[in-house]
Amino acid sequence: MMGDWQVYWLFLQQGIASGLVTGSIYALLAIAIVIIFKTTDAPNFAAGEIFMAGAYIALYLVIFSQIAYVIAVPVTLGVTFILSALFYRVVLRRIGVSPAVAVNVVIATLGLSFVLKGIVRNTGFGDVPRSFPAVFGADTIQIGDAVLTMQDVAVFALALLAMVIFFVFFNYTRTGRAMRAVGMNPRAAALVGIDLHRTRMLIWGLSGLLSALAAILIAPKILMTADMGIVVILGFAAAIVGGFTSLPGAVVGGLIIGIVENLVGLFVSTRAIVVAPFIVIMLVLAVRPQGLFGGPTVIKKV
């Protein structure tokens, strides 16, 4: 009997440790999704493909052009920033971003997702699964009874660092505060002189950058295909669990989803991993329809 409990205790520690690593990536993706939803009033269904495009740009630079990581990574982040910002500038500015046209915005982002997938499939390196080389070694370290690779630890540390930088930027810089203002009340933001279009364009760029960063961090852990954007569903799951408009919620949601996924894999079966996040979503929403950190549901007045 004692033996069983020791195994469970080991599983629990390993599940939480591995869960925090993957969860931190989901948290980054969830932030990328939430900042767009808050300022554009529609979810970005191309989030997965922007993430995928980021991974492939990095792959192209590192493997096919043999460019060093220190240059390849910033270039990847910059290119994804520009691509996302351009999509806002060219397409969404024309469609508009009011709740009345939210469906149209969603369909346009779906269009973008098809375009990106098609482009990657046609470039010649999106047709076969590829793997991304790990930067940090496969040496392991032990925390409690859980075992993590150095790569895992580095991923977690970098994701955490990115989140800290992001929170500082969002709370203490002029541009970051303008972004928050647009998310809270676009009309009031416009009245105090914030350029709505420019701010939203920057938000889209920033969201693309965060997705690309998540992609570079997680790429060595997964197989790269043009359909790898499916991972971002877990970012959506994280955002929903956290309340979809709350940034702390996105982070907590990401960690919860990561941990639940790993625990289900260890305790139930690896086949059930796929469905675990959806069960978490349905459970959380059934009890709290606005998510964990979402404010009270606002009912529109007549």
Partner 1 sequence: MTRASYIVVAVLAGGLLVLLPLLGSGYIVYLANLMLVYIVLALGLNILIGETGQFGLAHVAFYGIGIYTTAILTGRFDVPFLVAAAAGVLLAGSIGLLLGYVSFRMRDIYLALSTFAFGEAMQWVYRSWDAVTNGPNGMRIKPAELFGARIATDHDAYPFILTATIIIIAATVWLRGSRLGRAFRAVRESEPAALAMGVDVRRAKVIAFALSAAYAGAAGGMFATFSSFIHPDSLGFTETILVVTMIVVGGLGSISGAIVGALVLGAVQELLRQAPSYQEIIYGVILILFMMYLPKGLAGAVGNLARRAG
Contact set with partner 1 (CB under 8 A): 37, 43, 91, 94-95, 101, 103-105, 107-108, 110-119, 121-122, 233, 236-237, 240, 244, 271, 274-275, 277-279, 281-282, 285-286, 289-291, 297, 299-302
The tokens describing 166, both together, are 């992001």
What is d(CA 174, CA 285) in angstroms, rounded to the nearest whole number?
Answer: 35
What is d(CA 183, CA 174) in angstroms, rounded to the nearest whole number?
Answer: 14
Nearest CB to partner 1, comparing residues 94 and 187: 94
**Minimum distance between the CB of residue 126 and partner 1, rounded to whole angstroms?**
11
**Minimum distance between the CB of residue 247 and partner 1, rounded to whole angstroms?**
16
**Minimum distance between the CB of residue 72 and partner 1, rounded to whole angstroms?**
26
**Minimum distance between the CB of residue 269 and partner 1, rounded to whole angstroms?**
10
Residues 67-92 as b or e (16 or more Cβ within 10 Å = b): beeeebbeebbebbbebbbebbbeeb
**Minimum distance between the CB of residue 207 and partner 1, rounded to whole angstroms?**
16
Nearest CB to partner 1, comparing residues 14 and 235: 235
Q: 124: phi > 0 → left, psi -120 to 50 → alpha, else beta; which? A: left
Nearest CB to partner 1, comparing residues 118 and 133: 118
What is d(CA 137, CA 149) in angstroms, rounded to the nearest whole number?
Answer: 7
Nearest CB to partner 1, comparing residues 118 and 248: 118
What is d(CA 240, CA 282) in angstroms, rounded to the nearest whole number?
Answer: 10
Amino acid of residue 106: V
**Minimum distance between the CB of residue 295 and partner 1, rounded to whole angstroms?**
13
Amino acid of residue 30: A
Nearest CB to partner 1, comparing residues 148 and 226: 226
**Minimum distance between the CB of residue 32 and partner 1, rounded to whole angstroms?**
15
Nearest CB to partner 1, comparing residues 126 and 158: 126
Task: Identify the bridge partners of residue 293 per DSSP, sorted by sequence position.
Answer: none
Nearest CB to partner 1, comparing residues 115 and 196: 115
What is d(CA 297, CA 289) in angstroms, rounded to the nearest whole number?
Answer: 8
Q: What is the CA 294 to chain-centroid distance, rounded?
A: 18
Nearest CB to partner 1, comparing residues 115 and 190: 115
What is d(CA 183, CA 41) in angstroms, rounded to the nearest whole number?
Answer: 9
What is d(CA 296, CA 302) in angstroms, rounded to the nearest whole number?
Answer: 18
What is d(CA 97, CA 116) in angstroms, rounded to the nearest whole number?
Answer: 22
**Minimum distance between the CB of residue 96 and partner 1, rounded to whole angstroms?**
8
Which segments within 128-208 are labelled E, that is strand?
140-143, 146-149
Task: Give the length of the chain.
Answer: 302
What is d(CA 155, CA 72) in angstroms, rounded to the nearest whole number?
Answer: 17
